[in-house]
Amino acid sequence: MDINRERLIQTFLTLVQIDSESGEEQEIIAYLKKEMDDLGFKTDIDKIGNLICSNDPNPKLMLAAHTDTVKPGKGIKPIIEGNIIKTDGTTILGADNKSGVSAILEILTSIKENGLKVELEVVFTVKEEIGPIGSSNLDFTKLKAKQSINLDSKPGDIVSNEPSLMHFDIEITGKAAHSGTRPENGINAIQIAAKAISKLKLGRIDFETTSNVGLINGGMARNIIPEKVTLEAEVRSRNDKKFEFYTKKLIETFKETALKYGGTIDIQANLRGKAYKHQETDPMVKLLVECGRQNGIKYNFTSTGGLTDANIFNRHGIKCITTGASGNDYHTTREYLEIDKFVIGTKIILDAIIELTK
């Protein structure tokens, strides 16, 4: 079965011209709902705004793609130059992830045109780029498929390994005092934070582990010893033991330091992602690689320190592999898409879907 190259490009051009920076996906979700209704799917928008679609009570496979883009993503004017689609350089292109979204629409349209029935679920998520927040808040009771493909990369790439991620919200309380007349009555929360941070290893800890303190707020005025400081920090690792070690270490360091200098501390730890690894021997991975080979594309396995929607789906018991249809230089205004690769990437995923739902 083949896909329609011109229609795929046209769909992509249409979608990138619907603004959808993270948190502003209502218009594109409404557009996709109508398309999916027309393709014979039951559609439902959950509380956070994800579009959940199904064409059978027992779907064999779920397809997912996020609909939001990074900034600057408003007023995108795609320019076609030979085999390349790009912008004038003032905005991103939005191939991340409109290439995945348009590939799904083209695949479903091709299947329908060929008179085939393939039992599928489709999830178009929101706020992936700033979280992933959409998938994290998805109503999973609405999903039935146990395996899925997340389109959020390019042909030739399989994201096989993602980290666990812990978010920390930390509040340190010291004691306010006049810095000139009664400094000995005060406990400086900023200093406690500084001492704790200086004891931590931040940035890249090793090839699979990172840590960051990314936000700090505190103090009232130059002449008041600061009573409150809040911080946002994170630890990521693809290794469970290291993840446990460094998350504990961060909590203990802040607690001990606050205690030592007479302050108090509140730390909220929030597990945002759970590490997973798909082996190259996994049947679904092997099938994708084989479909790639038949279309002249060799697949590489990539490990990432980032989190895709697949992390959340895997955590909820839906085996999910991230690959994709196309795009280069994501998250920059140099972002571009190679049309030939886009067509092949879409075809590979169509072939894999047909095999996986037999």
Q: Which CB sits closer to Zn ion, 97 or 304?
A: 97
Instruction: Establish if 338 lies at the interface with Zn ion (CB under 5 A).
Output: no
Task: Return d(Cα 332, Cα 339) in angstroms, integer.
Answer: 19
Binds Zn ion by CB under 5 A, chosen from 46, 68, 121, 152: 152
Instruction: Establish if 35 lies at the interface with Zn ion (CB under 5 A).
Output: no
> Using CA of residue 342, residue 347, residue 349, residue 350, what is the dihedral sign?
positive
Q: Which CB sits closer to Zn ion, 55 or 69?
A: 69
8 Å CB contact between 80 and 55: no
Per-residue CA distances from 151 to 19, 48, 80 (Å): 19, 20, 23
Closest-CA residue to 98 (of 73, 79, 134): 73
- The piece of 20-28, 97-105, 238-246, 270-278 that touches Zn ion (CB under 5 A) is 97-105
For the bound state, the minimum distance from the C-beta of residue 293 to Zn ion, rounded and expressed in Å, comes to 25
- The piece of 147-155, 160-168, 177-185, 310-318 that touches Zn ion (CB under 5 A) is 147-155
Instruction: Establish if 97 lies at the interface with Zn ion (CB under 5 A).
Output: yes
- Is 278 annotated in a binding site? The answer is no
- Is 66 annotated in a binding site? The answer is yes
Task: Return d(Cα 102, Cα 137) in angstroms, integer.
Answer: 24
Examine residue 78 and say whether the peptide bond preceding it is cis (omega within 30 degrees of 0).
no
Geometric angle at alpha carbon 68, from 159 and 340, rounded to 5°: 60
For the bound state, the minimum distance from the C-beta of residue 209 to Zn ion, rounded and expressed in Å, comes to 23
- Is 316 annotated in a binding site? The answer is no
- The piece of 39-47, 52-60, 152-160, 250-258 that touches Zn ion (CB under 5 A) is 152-160
Instruction: Establish if 96 lies at the interface with Zn ion (CB under 5 A).
Output: yes
Residue ranges binding Zn ion (CB under 5 A): 96-97, 152
